């Protein structure tokens, strides 16, 4: 893990500027027990299916990833030059742990897996810039009956 003191002053300031805005309401709610929850993955790894458009640096959009997608159909166009793709290349579960969710479901530890998952390109923008698209994704998660999201920041 890199420390801010290990980074250039410009890079450290860029990270410090990505503060989390305060929530005026309680962001967390009580839900059903884990073994009854429907879980989706939301990642900032810049993943998408091979035939989807690539992400670019200032991209605020998202890509929908079907829950039955084969791992070898996913590619990463994460635009950050600082991101090491080695883990993704060795095991996609590092950035998109769908296999781990399938194992948890098979053991009855989670209720079900969402029909769709969502990927953003988590580079180049402040978190607040994603509010509109995050609301769209939240709406789709709700429509899919998702009541737990596994957030995988990259």
User: Does residue 1 have a pLDDT over 60?
Assistant: no
pLDDT tens per residue, range 29-76: 788 999 999 999 999 888 999 999 988 878 889 999 999 998 889 988
Q: By the 8 A CB rule, do 100 and 93 touch?
A: yes
pTM: 0.80
Cα separation, 124 vs 68, in Å, equals 30
Q: Identify the pLDDT of residue 31.
A: 84
Q: Identify the pLDDT of residue 88.
A: 62
pLDDT tens per residue, range 82-106: 666 666 667 888 889 999 999 999 9
Cα 70 to Cα 17, 65, 110, 153: the distances in Å are: 37, 10, 21, 21
Q: Identify the pLDDT of residue 136.
A: 96
Q: What Rg, from alpha-carbon coordinates, does the chain have?
A: 16
pLDDT tens per residue, range 114-141: 999 999 987 667 778 888 999 999 999 9
7: confidence class by pLDDT, cuts 50, 70, 90? confident
Cα separation, 92 vs 99, in Å, equals 9
């Amino acid at each position: 893990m890199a420390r801010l003191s290990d980074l250039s002053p410009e890079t450290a300031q860029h990270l410090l500027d990505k503060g989390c805005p305060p929530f005026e309401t309680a962001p967390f709610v009580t839900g059903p027990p884990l073994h009854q929850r429907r879980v989706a993955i939301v990642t900032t790894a810049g993943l998408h299916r091979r035939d989807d458009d690539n992400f670019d640096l200032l991209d605020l959009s998202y890509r929908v990833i079907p829950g039955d997608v084969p791992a070898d159909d996913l590619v990463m166009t994460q635009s950050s030059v600082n991101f090491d793709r080695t883990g993704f290349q060795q095991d996609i579960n590092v950035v998109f742990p769908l296999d781990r969710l399938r194992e948890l479901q098979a053991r009855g530890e989670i209720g079900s897996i969402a029909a769709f998952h969502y990927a953003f390109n988590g580079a180049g923008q402040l978190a607040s810039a994603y509010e509109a698209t995050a609301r769209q994704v939240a709406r789709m998660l709700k429509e899919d009956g998702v009541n737990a999201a596994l957030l995988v920041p990259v």
